[in-house]
């Protein structure tokens, strides 16, 4: 989840309430855990085979609906995490759902249980990453900005120079052209 990585990095740089953001990330991971249980429930009892095009036909409309509702909940939490990033949040755009949904098509020769296993693995990896982000941001204190090394100011030494001569008044281009023509003759 690239958007959450960027938001956490922004929060760490500018300082924010790390415990609140960590709680939101944990809540997103909890939604992911529920999604993992739904995928595992499907894998435990796959039921009748579906068509060769979509996962929804294999797992059923009820599970797909539950996954979608979890995705909506997680989406709101992701917005909250991004809002905590402050000014940086206006550049963050939700790129993907932290919940593995059942709306993708099956690959050539793939079955529902195979796709379910792949999505379960992806969901578990996402949950692990979310918890790592929560641990990363948990130590950030409100208003505590990351320490930056102060820039060393260079002191400029002025040298004494002779006064400059005033530039001669420039002649208009017409006079110059007339002089050049006169010289050629």
The tokens for 26 are 């944990």
pTM for the whole thing?
0.69
Residue 3: pLDDT above 60? yes
Does 70 or 20 have the greater pLDDT score? 70
Please identify which residue in the block is written with the tokens 């294999």. 58
pLDDT band of 146, cuts 50, 70, 90: very low
Q: Which pLDDT value is given to residue 118?
A: 92
Sketch the domain layout of the chain as residue ranges. 2-138
What burial class does residue 60 get, using C-beta atoms within 10 Å of its C-beta: 0-12 exposed, 13-18 middle, 19+ buried?
middle
Q: Tell me the C-alpha to C-alpha distance, in Å, between residue 31 and each of 67, 78, 123, 130.
A: 9, 12, 10, 11
Residue 23: pLDDT above 50? yes
**Residues 102, 63: contact at Cβ < 8 Å?**
yes
Q: What spatial distance separates the first Cα and last Cα of the chain, rounded to whole Å? A: 80
**Torsion of Cα atoms, 76 then 84 then 95 then 65, to 10°:** -10
Q: What percent of the chain has pLDDT over 90?
A: 25
- The 10 Å Cβ neighbour count of residue 130 is 26
What are the pLDDT digits (tens) for 6-19? 888 888 887 777 78
Does 4 or 160 have the greater pLDDT score? 4
Report for 5-14, 32-41, 53-62, 84-93: range of highest mean pLDDT = 32-41
Strand partners, 54: 105
The tokens for 102 are 């059942």
Q: Which pLDDT value is given to residue 147?
A: 43
Q: Which pLDDT value is given to residue 20?
A: 85
Report for 89-93, 95-99, 117-121, 169-173: range of highest mean pLDDT = 117-121
Q: Which pLDDT value is given to residue 148?
A: 45
């Amino acid at each position: 989840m690239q958007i959450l990585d960027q938001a956490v990095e922004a929060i760490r740089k500018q300082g924010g309430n790390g415990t609140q953001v960590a709680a939101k990330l944990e809540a997103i991971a909890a939604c992911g855990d529920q999604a993992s249980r739904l995928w595992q429930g499907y894998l435990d009892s796959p039921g009748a085979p579906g068509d060769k095009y979509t996962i929804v036909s294999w797992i059923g409309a009820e599970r797909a609906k539950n996954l979608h509702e979890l995705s909506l909940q997680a989406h709101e939490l992701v917005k909250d995490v991004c809002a905590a990033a402050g000014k940086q949040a206006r550049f963050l755009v939700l790129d993907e759902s932290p919940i593995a949904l059942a709306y993708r098509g099956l690959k050539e020769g793939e079955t529902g249980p195979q796709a379910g296993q792949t999505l379960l693995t992806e969901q578990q990896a996402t949950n692990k990453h979310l918890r790592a982000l929560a641990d990363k941001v948990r130590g950030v204190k409100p208003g505590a900005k990351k320490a930056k090394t102060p820039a060393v100011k260079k002191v400029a030494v002025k040298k004494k120079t002779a006064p400059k001569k005033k530039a001669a008044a420039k002649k208009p281009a017409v006079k110059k052209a007339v002089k050049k023509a006169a010289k050629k003759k």
